Structure 1
Amino acid sequence: MSATIDRDRLRALLEEELRDFRERHPRSREAHERARRSLVGGVPMPWMMRWAGGYPVIATEARGNRIVDLDGHEYVDLCLGDTGAMPGHGPAPVVEAVAAQLARGITTMLPTEDAAWAGEELGRRFGLPRWLFTLTATDANRAALRLARQLTGRGKVLVYSYCYHGSVDEAFAVRDPATGRTVPREGNVGPAVDVAETTVAIEFNDLPALEAALVTGEIACVLAEPAMTNMGIVLPDPGYHDALRALTREHGTLLLLDETHTFSAGPGGCTRLWELEPDLLTIGKAIGSGIPSGALGLSDAVHDRMFAQEGADYEDTGGVGGTLAGNALSLAAIRATLGEVLTEASFAHAIPLAERFADGVRQVAARHDLPWNVTQLGARAEYRFEPEPARNGTQAHDASDPELERYLHLHALNRGLLLTPFHNMALMAPSTTAADVDRHTELLDEAAATLVG
């Protein structure tokens, strides 16, 4: 029989941790109060309000997988910028390359030699031969969806309920379990149109629903992560990707894979690891070590179709790209990151540490009879508060426990360890050590004991 968590006890423990947090972080609190007078929510972006202490610690330094805050506390960072700092904070080769490029110029509206190198390296890793560069994966996804609609003459995009593709409007859609209709995701702010006009949402791993949507002939593109991430890690069923690729080809629908988070699977993400064959591929966050950067990869067939069409203005008014996209600074960061930091060797170091992390979570759950599961994707692992891993985004969403999650995160933060604020995700950097992973296991075990003891 699984242990039951006393919710009154949980709330009391959370209050204790909140008091401890406020006592330990007076300078961060003072800085946050000042920021509230000029910044929305007292933070540079509203999602930073989600940190478990009620206000974020103020960072003063980040190196490798360590962060130091304004109150002088040092943290083991398993968040790593929600993958934006997958290479670690300020890796030396990137700092050197970026500093050198700063001295030579930041943005010139002209290409540098780094651009062709980056395109060749991304092609080698992911198998797509043609690339263009953006400032974020969101930008890359928006450009890819424009291309898909232009090339197919179709208006709709297929996504999976509770998917993550940055701030792409079409992705804030879910399938209503009661009616089967596509509806806006709860909390979506100011959509330009009813999301059902642009999007069809289905559940991940539901092949009949996928085929039913594609057979209509109205879907320009399937936008998918190879494995879902932002609502826990949801892995594809065996054979799902083979069926997805076959069905999209059969119905003339383009397949766009977003590897922004799933890059954790290895040097070529899930695309290389699982031998996937997308028509388009987007990636961001990690490839520039935190310097704003993103990329869109195209198959030869998509590239040729782009330039075979008359009237599509990719150079100016077509809505693809931006003035700072592909700038010299971003490309210098990408070249240094891919060439010297996120190498085969770094993944060979990080992936076993994620396995160690997952094993530690399983041991804690078993020791305290807690019905939790943990899923790993390369250098990334995440635990959820249900007995078995979810098979789709809705199941993962419905199993969320924000109060319990907040307690575990705050308990860890007060003892020098950072987890991603939105979920229980941990990411291993080239500088992460076994001792760092074991520290998480130790703290999780301590927190679990307080919940069920």
Structure 2
Amino acid sequence: MIDRSRLAQLLERERRDFRERNPRSAAAYEQARAHLFGGVPMTWMNKTAAGFPLYLSEARGARVVDVDGHEYVDLCLGDTGAMAGHSPAPTVEAVTERFARRGGATVMMPTEDAAWVGAELGRRFGVPYWSFSLTATDANRWAIRLARAVTGRPRILVNSYCYHGSVDEVLLVVGPDGRAVAREGNVGAPVDPTLTSRVVEFNDLASLERELAHGDVAAVLMEPALTNIGIVLPRPGYLEGVRELTRRYGSLLINDETHTFSAGPGGCTRAWRLEPDVVTIGKAVGGGIPSGGYGLSAEVAARVEGMSGLDLVDMGGVGGTLAGNALSIAAMRATLEYVLTDEAFAAMEGLAVRFTEGVLKVVDAHALPWSVVRLGARAEYRFTSPAPRNGGESNAAADPDLDDYLHVYLANRGVLLTPFHNMALMCPATTAADVDRHNEAFADAVRELAG
């Protein structure tokens, strides 16, 4: 239903306008290419619909300003890392107090804030014992190590097209023939991930049982709702089936709530009353300061502590010098206590409903075979209908040119989506006017495309 030649013309027009609007960002990018690998501080920043990234000048709340002076409604929010908004005042105050007034960002000593954060995460997610990291990637790596240690099993099971950071064991998918294959473009994996892991499609209990029946899976690492490939919601009874099967076959269940934290104050685990053995989280809980952690059930914690041969306090493969540092912990406490509260999530979810309804109105008006899925404060549109039921279906619905057109069109009109996909996230500072600004620009983009 899309006129591809018209799409190509509109995309080129928007990219041309982008280049003309952002000369300082373009110049900064060219200059950086002489000193930075790929021209950016981290290679993911090259994911841009327009050929070069916007350069940041300042950010506050739900707004960012680039070096050319353009202000944007930020619905990307650091791809979830800034779910609390940019520089929320309580987090800024806590970080300033810790770093500038009291000093000591990292001294290899615990602070009293850490026990408060552990108790609060336990209250929210239902697992009582917590340890901290700087990223969710590390939290997942360390949870995997502990799962292998206590079960004595080598493999990890994940969902096709899942996202758990740059963990080696998760970079595989279900191939066209139904077999596990390494994910295309995987960079320098130490071993073929099909040797370390098993993979099944989300929402497929029969395949999950088949793979668990091999008896070699230490843990199922999964998001309660699949993200980073659109949003794929669980079908009725699916998560209950996962929990029953993992218990039956002796595998631990790890819920990665890094993105699905958008579902509410305790993520999907609390919202849907799930009972994982381990919860991992990162990004949002530090209010923009690098933070992450993993929580263990009482049973798993006891099993780990009962293994006297594990080296948990030196070089055993779990932990890092900066993990649990005083600055990150102070940021986590302030963010959880004062920013990402129950009340804040309720307001954020209401705005995400407004976003979703606005997008659906446009899609229906043009009879487009698209869908939009919401998970609490997070929403995303996908170019297929009905909404995908698993990662393979969602990946098959990808349309890079259409993605790029919408991203650069919106950016040229002051709205930023997550560059990797069409995800919009609400923060406590987001307003109804911000959502309406997106919906109006989205309507204009679709209207032009429809001709």
Using the size of structure 1 for normalisation, the TM-score is 0.98
Q: Which residue of 1 aligns with 2:124?
A: 125
> For 1:43 and 1:323, how far apart are their aligned partners in 2?
26
Equivalent-residue separation in structure 1 for 2:319 and 2:204 (angstroms) = 34
* Structure 1 residue 176: Cα displacement: 1.5
Paired residue for 2:270? 272
Q: What does 1:221-370 correspond to in 2, within 5 Å?
A: 221-370=219-368
- Secondary structure of residue in 1 paired with 2:369: coil
Name the structure 1 match of 2:144.
145
**Aligned: 1:452 with 2:432:** no
- Paired residue type of 2:420: F
> Which residue of structure 1 aligns with residue 378 of structure 2?
380
Give, in whole Å, the separation in 1 of the partners of 2:202 and 2:231. 12
Q: Distance in 2 between matches of 1:20 and 1:194?
A: 44
Q: Which residue type is aligned with residue 99 of structure 2?
A: L
State which of 25, 28, 33 in structure 2 corresponds to 1:28.
25
1:99 aligned onto 2:96: yes
Q: Counterpart of 1:129 in structure 2: which amino acid?
A: P
Residue 6 of structure 1 aligns with an amino acid whose one-letter code is D
Distance in 2 (CA, whole Å) between partners of 1:402 and 1:372 is 15
Tell me which of 409, 420, 427 is aligned to 2:407. Answer: 409
Instruction: Give distance in 2, aligned partners of 1:79 and 1:210.
Output: 33
Distance 2:385 2:391 in 1: 16
Name the counterpart of 1:78: 75
- Unmatched 5+ stretches in structure 1: none
Alignment length, in residue pairs? 449
The reply to whether residue 161 of structure 1 matches residue 122 of structure 2 is no
1:40 deviation in Å?
1.3
- SS of 1:76's equivalent? strand
Residue 409 of structure 1 and its aligned partner are, at CA, apart by 0.5
Query: 2: distance between equivalents of 1:113 and 1:195?
Result: 40
Q: Distance in 2 between matches of 1:165 and 1:315?
A: 25
Write out per-residue CA displacement over residues 314-341 of structure 1, whole angstroms, 9 at most, x where no aligned residue: 1112100100100000000000000000
Q: Which residue of 2 aligns with 1:207?
A: 205
SS of equivalent residue, structure 2 residue 380: strand
Partner AA of 1:86 in structure 2: M
Amino acid at match of 2:8: R
How far is 1:310 from its partner?
A: 2.5
Q: What is the CA–CA distance in structure 1 between the aligned matches of 2:185 and 2:197, rounded to whole Å? A: 17
Q: Which amino acid counterpart does residue 93 of structure 2 have in structure 1?
A: E
CA distance in 1 between counterparts of 2:132 and 2:193 reads: 27
* Equivalent position amino acid for 2:254 in 1: L
Query: What residue identity is the alignment partner of 1:363?
Result: K
2:442 maps to 1:440:
no
Aligned to 2:11: 14
Name which of 1, 5, 12 aligns with 2:2: 5
Q: Residue type matched to 2:400 in 1?
A: P
Aligned-pair CA distance for 1:207: 0.6
Instruction: Report the residue type matching 1:119 in the other structure.
Output: G
Quote how far apart the aligned CAs of 1:96 are: 0.5
Distance in 2 (CA, whole Å) between partners of 1:260 and 1:423 is 16
SS of the residue aligned with 1:431? Answer: coil
State the Cα deviation string for residues 340-366 of structure 1 (Å, max 9, x = none): 000011001100100000001100001
CA distance in 2 between partners of 1:310 and 1:19 (Å): 63
Cα shift at 1:182: 1.4
Deviation at 1:181, TM superposition (A): 2.1
Measured against aligned partners, the alpha-carbon deviations of 1:428-452 in whole angstroms (never above 9, x if no partner) come to: 0101111111111101110001111
SS at match of 1:201: strand
State the Cα deviation string for residues 225-251 of structure 1 (Å, max 9, x = none). 000000000001100111110110111
- The Cα of 1:400 is off from its aligned counterpart by 0.2
One-letter amino acid matched to 1:73: H
Aligned residues with identical type, % of pairs: 63
Structure 1 residue 8, shift from structure 2 partner: 0.7
Distance between the aligned counterparts of 2:383 and 2:27, measured in 1?
35
Choose which of 68, 84, 87 in structure 2 pairs with 1:87. 84
Length-normalised TM-score, structure 2: 0.99
Counterpart of 1:19 in 2: which secondary structure? Answer: helix
Q: Distance in 2 between matches of 1:364 and 1:443?
A: 11
Instruction: Write the deviation string for residues 284-332 of structure 1: whole angstroms up to 9, x where unpaired.
Output: 0000011011010000000000111131111112100100100000000
1:189 and 2:187 matched: yes
* Cα distance in 1 for residues equivalent to 2:315 and 2:82: 33
| Residue of structure 2 in register with 1:218 after alignment | 216
- CA deviations 1:68-111 (Å, max 9, x no partner) are 00000000000000000000000000000001100221001000
For 2:140, give the aligned amino acid: N
Alignment partner of 2:236: what SS? Answer: coil
Partner of 1:51: 48
**Alpha-carbon shift at residue 49 of structure 1 (Å):** 0.8
Give every structure 1 segment of 4 or more consecutive aligned residues whose post-TM-superposition deviation is greater than 4 Å: none
Give the Cα–Cα distance (whole angstroms) in 1 for the partners of residues 343 and 327 of structure 2: 25
Once residues 46 and 421 of structure 1 are traced to their aligned partners in structure 2, the CA distance between those partners, rounded to angstroms, is: 13
- Distance in 1, Cα, partners of 2:310 & 2:419: 42
Partner of 1:109: 108
The Cα of 1:177 is off from its aligned counterpart by: 2.7
> Distance between the aligned counterparts of 2:346 and 2:303, measured in 1?
38
Letter in 2 for 1:187: G
Listed one character per residue, the Cα deviations across residues 12-43 of structure 1 (whole Å, up to 9, x for unaligned) are: 11110111001100011111110011111111
Q: Secondary structure, in 3 states, of the residue corresponding to 1:157?
A: strand
Bigger mean CA deviation after superposition, 44-53 or 230-239? 44-53
- 1:375 alignment partner, SS class: strand
| 1:39 counterpart residue number | 36
